[in-house]
Structure 1
């Protein structure tokens, strides 16, 4: 298992608390998507439940490890988006799921050790679900641990965040990120890291998915629209058909480059006729549109409005 260097400090602190028998009853793993929070979660829980751990890591051979790897460990509960009655996946975690989880954690451990429940993404809990979780956080059962995973912890109520031991995964240095990407065999690692704004996990994912070509396509689309050659309707349809949120990330990034070039009195990559204030407003609007895609509003209308403002 290739363990990123930026996990090391968090791992050592948790293991030191485990040695002192002082593990918290609730953890919040948070930070930008792509930094391996979920890999860290799996490694920690696997080692916590292992019957013969070595320096906190699981042995991989005991009964607990075999059950965990098979996804059938009786003392592990994983909660995420559920299904509605019509079989469609929900876009949020609802109160009934939390109540079922709390009832499960109130029972005794099958193996007589820890019971571990994870909620991912915890920032997808609606208000009623978050309120229901508070009781479990305030009155934890013995040898029970809740682990919340959130890419956007600010969406969670402060009352939830304050009751968890928080572990923040932050972007590593450029050199550390580049070294890790090269170790993972990522081609054109510097370009991938730049596209992901310094996030090595996203850089790896996007490089494997061919997203760098998409990044160039987004820039060409915006430049064409700025010059009057592009068709906003056709462009919007293409963006909607493939990774819209990612395209909006690349669009905002391109406009940020345009603003930096404008500030240095140089020609920007998009040759936009918008002034600096309008560019900044469009950059903010692109990021707000990315956020709005999580809600009930129609993505096609949001995108057409955004592209209309650019043109």
Structure 2
């Protein structure tokens, strides 16, 4: 079992099914990045293949555990973003990868137990890959379990979602998150948790990688631009230099805080000149910019359009 308290219920349910020999042939671990889905997955796989498990926990000392730890267990097939011919990392999982996976799963387990296939990120499969996986899901082989991981499960076709049993990882309560962060020794835990919209995993990461500083920059930039100060191109250049999607996240968050302050009759922190309707529309635009930054569009143009709408 992982050290994240919000995993306890899902872990207990899954282990109960295992004890009844009622595990599904396909599971979808779904929820926002930062909630420990992959840690949960790793612990489950280790326990499933362990030769001497206790309560679903791997012993860590048997041959199977050593092979899993080394990444060489013959009954574990991990499917992820592969490499292109030029050596770069693909941005999607392609059909040939899924066909290779299906071929592997058609063979018998080498250890005589479970065969485990992981697909991560499953929401990065292109349409052809998803269709190919669908055939495998419809005709599961005995003692085989396919584990899909998706930060954005809505990107998966409904046909894939309907053929898997889903475990949702939800953002825990503020109290649970804050207690966990403090137990992890995270500095400025409350501020980090606010920046991460309550997501404790992201909060832990952001507390150590400069994200809180970036959040402050975004608010300073938007306030200056609202007052007619600052250079839009200079702002765009800074935002795109490190993690533009995160800057867009903080921009959308800042717009929400502005609207809340107005609704509560408090001084608006950004002093935006936009009316409430326009500010709400700009919030949507910031979120669409985050989405657009995933694709082939030029980062500077996406950000410039967003900044221009703010001014």
TM-score range, shorter chain: over 0.9
Q: How does 1:112-127 map to 2 (within 5 A)?
A: 112-127=112-127
Q: Which runs of 4+ in 1 moved over 6 A?
A: none
Q: Which residue of 2 aligns with 1:131?
A: 131
- What's the CA shift for 1:265? 2.7
Q: Which residue of 1 aligns with 2:49?
A: 49
Q: Which residue of 1 aligns with 2:85?
A: 85
1:9-37 Cα deviation digits (max 9, x unpaired) = 00001100110111110000001110000
Q: How does 1:273-292 map to 2 (within 5 A)?
A: 273-292=273-292
Q: Which residue of 2 aligns with 1:233?
A: 233
- Structure 2: runs of 5+ lacking an equivalent: none
| SS class of match (1:167) | strand
Tell me the distance in 2 between the aligned counterparts of 1:179 and 1:210.
22
Q: Which residue of 2 aligns with 1:270?
A: 270
Q: How does 1:209-220 map to 2 (within 5 A)?
A: 209-220=209-220
* TM-score normalized by the length of structure 2: 0.98
Q: How does 1:165-176 map to 2 (within 5 A)?
A: 165-176=165-176
Q: Which residue of 2 aligns with 1:151?
A: 151
Tell me the distance in 1 between the aligned counterparts of 2:199 and 2:252.
16
- What's the CA shift for 1:229? 1.0
Q: 1:180 to 1:242 in 2, by over 3 A?
A: same
1:58-102 Cα deviation digits (max 9, x unpaired) = 000000000100111111111111112222211111111111111
1:96-138 Cα deviation digits (max 9, x unpaired) = 1111111111111111110101111100111111001011000
Q: How does 1:252-271 map to 2 (within 5 A)?
A: 252-271=252-271
Q: Which residue of 2 aligns with 1:14?
A: 14
Tell me the distance in 2 between the aligned counterparts of 1:306 and 1:17.
49
- The answer as to whether partners of 2:2 and 2:39 remain within 8 angstroms in 1 is no
Tell me the distance in 2 between the aligned counterparts of 1:216 and 1:43.
37
- What's the CA shift for 1:2? 5.6
| SS class of match (2:145) | strand
- The answer as to whether partners of 2:99 and 2:132 remain within 8 angstroms in 1 is yes
Q: Which residue of 2 aligns with 1:140?
A: 140
Q: Say whether 1:101 aligns with 2:101.
A: yes
Tell me the distance in 2 between the aligned counterparts of 1:238 and 1:129.
37
1:178-222 Cα deviation digits (max 9, x unpaired) = 110011011111111111111111111100112111111111011
Note the aligned Cα RMSD (angstroms). Answer: 1.0
| Number of matched pairs | 311
- Structure 1: runs of 5+ lacking an equivalent: none
- What's the CA shift for 1:296? 1.8
- The answer as to whether partners of 2:171 and 2:199 remain within 8 angstroms in 1 is yes
- What's the CA shift for 1:266? 2.5
- The answer as to whether partners of 2:25 and 2:144 remain within 8 angstroms in 1 is yes
Tell me the distance in 2 between the aligned counterparts of 1:116 and 1:292.
34
